[in-house]
């Protein structure tokens, strides 16, 4: 594909520029006013930049909003959503004035914060500040990986940029710093961060909490730093955006000095940030900006300015695909499968085989299964938060500048950014990304995992070192409440396999489940390969019976399944016939028809066994042997015994539950 457009041209008269900018400003003002809720200040400030970005810079097509080689635009400060909705409407996307009038109403195509899949032109779901910055890093990284893999000298079918607009709040959130640091390290030259530095936050001037020199920080990250001192100076805006597009070898930060609530009585005032202006202020603003039009009325000249006669790049990309198909048919066929058709690769996996009774930690089994799958599915990529050797997730070679064709992403100790970057890769398309770390550190990335679920992304989160059996590292590293927390999150499936075979089945399930993220929770310590899992499959992950017994049923997950089997044998020797059910996923168990679930669990008293919080179990069982406090530091066997997780202690607990029977 040819280089990005080097001469903006188009409608440049100041009066047209003002009409176009004001059209966007007042769509935001009117929508927020009608909803009596929202954030008008940033749209009023940034309208000129977004106008030039959408009409002269972005390669996008309102009639083909999802074409793969479009430029990506992310609004990280999702509270300013009317800035994006207004720009999409004015640019000709399928978003009508009537949709804008339902801003922040339910149901609505214009929710309070942008949501992927709900509104054409919205790339990712943003709202929590900083997430969009990290998503944009993932989008830009995915572009570089795809370009290295699929472009040929005759045709660059992957050649697009990622732009993200953020503000002071994003800059304060640690996730943006984590992600930007990695972006600089990876030299993602097609990433541009547009930083709206308006010196205002919700509570007042940003100087209440922020006085650092952001430019210096980003220079240290390896960014090129540019400035727009006046966002209403369209010559300066155009020249700076063009310079950002021409930057090579490093990402770009554009610091833009703007005036929140521009033209209103709350000009440069934090009161323009998070509330409607009010009828009197809206009238004053219309007079100040010479906008005589009623609410939600856009003059024809504004639409003309927002829809200039220029090539979107879509037709050129179609021709480029034809050249690529001729030049390298096999490579283009793979590009088409992954990016256009989005069909998962070969499914006839050759899973590792295990002998009954052998000891294999489920994290080791995960690594073996993941590599077996990656051999057949080239779109699998991912990495760890500097614990790849511990999570067993190494696939092949490192993805880094200048060669992005590896499979392993070294995220560094950046759990939160890792997860949000993974979301960006998943949202980009063409890859099936995973992220991994110790289970207790899922707390560090939970907001991004939540957004992955909201977006229904096909992502995989791998958490190892899953219980108090971690031992010596003590309470800070021993997850207790994390299982209950993730199980409470809508839209995800949490799998805690009992042995190596259940782990392989869990990986197979995660690869095929496309409607949201899947979480695998895995042991550090070796676990016996169970005779009853020889025929386990993805259908078994909602629960399967390993042992029959009419007096009692022990229901367990992960490392406690083998403990339940040992305890069941002791109970049987004491005359209590005990069944054992392995339930890798409570979500899948809940989804089974009620009659199947009841048949699986049986009519005998049910006791759950899990070395974690008992919260959430009582939906399925009568009693729980679990952890209702933090763990402790010591050898694995010492810690398990200290908290009642030996076969003999389980028998004693069960007998107490049964009233001494």
- Torsions phi, psi for 55 (to 5 deg): -100, -20
The H-assigned helical ranges of 187-328 are: 214-221, 234-246, 279-288, 300-306, 314-327
Measured distance CA(399)–CA(416) in Å, rounded? 19
Specify the DSSP class assigned to residue 270.
G
Cα–Cα separations (whole angstroms), residue 31 to 103, 104, 309, 547: 6, 9, 28, 62
Whether residue 415 lies in the annotated active site? yes
Closest Cα to residue 158, out of 338, 33, 366?
A: 338
Are the CB atoms for 110 and 104 separated by under 8 Å? Answer: yes
Residue 359 CB neighbours (<10 A): 14
Are the CB atoms for 199 and 167 separated by under 8 Å? Answer: no
Measured distance CA(583)–CA(605) in Å, rounded? 16
Instruction: Report residue 438 as tokens.
Output: 């110790």
Secondary structure (3-state) at 583: coil
Cα–Cα separations (whole angstroms), residue 493 to 231, 433, 485: 46, 16, 12
User: 475: which residues sit within 8 A by CB, 6+ positions away?
Assistant: 630, 631, 632, 633
Bridge partners, residue 329, by sequence: none
What secondary structure does DSSP assign to 313-381, as a single string? SHHHHHHHHHHHHHH-HHHHHHHIIIIII--------------TT-EEEHHHHHHHHHHHHHHH-TTEE
Measured distance CA(627)–CA(614) in Å, rounded? 7
Class of residue 269 by CB neighbours under 10 A (exposed 0-12, middle 13-18, buried 19+):
middle
Edge-to-edge, what's the strand order for the sheet holding 408-410? 408-410, 380-384, 432-438, 460-464, 518-521, 493-495
The single residue of 33, 379, 388, 415 carrying the catalytic annotation is 415
Measured distance CA(588)–CA(542) in Å, rounded? 5
Are the CB atoms for 571 and 538 separated by under 8 Å? Answer: no
Measured distance CA(364)–CA(462) in Å, rounded? 12
Cα–Cα separations (whole angstroms), residue 258 to 26, 48, 172, 414: 17, 10, 18, 31
Q: Which residue's entry shows tokens 């100041």? A: 14
Measured distance CA(188)–CA(141) in Å, rounded? 7
Q: Which residues are catalytic?
A: 415
């Amino acid at each position: 594909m040819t280089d990005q457009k080097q001469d903006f041209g188009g409608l440049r008269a100041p009066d047209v520029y003002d009409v176009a900018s004001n059209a966007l400003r007042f769509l935001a003002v009117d929508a927020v006013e009608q909803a009596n809720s929202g954030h008008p200040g940033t749209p009023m400030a940034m309208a000129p930049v977004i106008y030039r970005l959408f009409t002269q810079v972005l390669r996008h097509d309102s009639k083909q909003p999802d074409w793969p080689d479009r430029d990506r635009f992310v609004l990280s400060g999702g509270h300013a959503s009317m800035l994006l909705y207004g720009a999409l409407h004015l640019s000709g996307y399928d978003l009508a004035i009537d949709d804008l009038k339902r801003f922040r109403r339910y149901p609505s195509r214009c929710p309070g914060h942008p949501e992927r899949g709900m509104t054409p032109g919205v790339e990712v779901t943003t709202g929590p500040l900083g997430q969009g910055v990290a998503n944009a890093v993932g989008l830009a990284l995915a572009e570089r990986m795809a370009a290295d893999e699929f472009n040929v000298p005759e045709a660059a079918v992957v050649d697009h940029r990622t732009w993200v607009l953020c503000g002071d709040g994003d800059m304060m959130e640690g996730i943006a710093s984590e992600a930007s640091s990695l972006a600089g390290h990876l030299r993602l030259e097609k990433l541009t961060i547009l930083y709206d530095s308006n010196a205002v936050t919700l509570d007042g001037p940003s100087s209440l909490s922020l006085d650092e020199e952001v430019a210096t920080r980003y220079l240290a990250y390896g960014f090129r730093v540019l400035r727009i001192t006046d966002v209403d100076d369209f010559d300066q805006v155009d020249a700076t955006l063009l310079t950002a597009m021409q930057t090579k070898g490093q990402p770009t930060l554009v610091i833009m000095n703007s005036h929140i609530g521009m033209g209103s009585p709350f000009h440069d005032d934090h009161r323009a940030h998070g509330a409607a202006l009010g009828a009197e202020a809206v009238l004053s603003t219309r007079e100040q900006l010479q906008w005589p039009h009623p609410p939600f009325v856009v003059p024809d000249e504004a639409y003309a300015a927002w829809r200039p006669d220029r090539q979107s790049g879509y037709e050129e990309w179609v021709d480029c695909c034809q050249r690529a198909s001729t030049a390298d048919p096999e490579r283009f066929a793979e590009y088409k499968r992954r990016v256009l058709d989005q069909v998962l690769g070969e499914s006839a996996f050759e899973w590792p085989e295990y002998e009954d009774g052998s000891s294999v930690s489920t994290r080791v089994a995960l690594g073996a299964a993941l590599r077996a799958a990656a051999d057949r599915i080239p779109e699998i990529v991912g990495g760890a938060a500097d614990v790849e050797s511990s999570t067993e997730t190494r696939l092949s070679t490192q993805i880094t500048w200048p060669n992005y064709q590896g499979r392993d992403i070294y995220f560094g100790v950046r759990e939160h950014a890792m997860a949000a970057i993974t979301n960006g890769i998943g949202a980009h398309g063409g890859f099936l990304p995973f992220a991994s770390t110790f289970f207790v550190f899922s707390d560090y990335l939970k907001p991004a995992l939540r957004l992955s679920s909201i977006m229904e992304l096909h992502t995989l989160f791998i958490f190892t070192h899953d219980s108090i059996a971690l031992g010596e590292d003590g309470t800070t590293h021993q997850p207790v409440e994390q299982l209950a927390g993730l199980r409470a999150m809508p839209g995800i499936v949490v799998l805690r396999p009992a042995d190596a075979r259940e782990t392989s089945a869990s990986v197979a399930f995660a690869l095929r489940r496309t409607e949201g993220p899947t979480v695998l929770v895995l042991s550090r310590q070796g676990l016996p390969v169970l005779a009853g899992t020889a025929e386990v499959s993805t259908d078994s992950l909602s629960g399967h019976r390993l042992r029959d017994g009419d007096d009692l049923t022990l229901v367990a997950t992960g490392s406690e399944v083998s403990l339940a089997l040992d305890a069941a044998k002791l109970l049987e020797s004491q005359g209590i016939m005990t069944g054992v059910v392995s339930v890798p996923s409570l979500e899948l168990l809940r989804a089974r028809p009620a009659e199947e679930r009841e048949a699986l669990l049986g009519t005998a008293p049910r006791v759950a066994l899990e070395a974690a919080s008992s919260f959430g179990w009582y939906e399925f069982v009568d009693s729980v042997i679990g952890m209702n406090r933090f763990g402790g530091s010591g050898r694995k066997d010492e810690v398990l015994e200290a908290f009642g997780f030996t076969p003999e202690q389980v028998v004693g607990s069960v007998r107490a539950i049964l009233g001494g029977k």
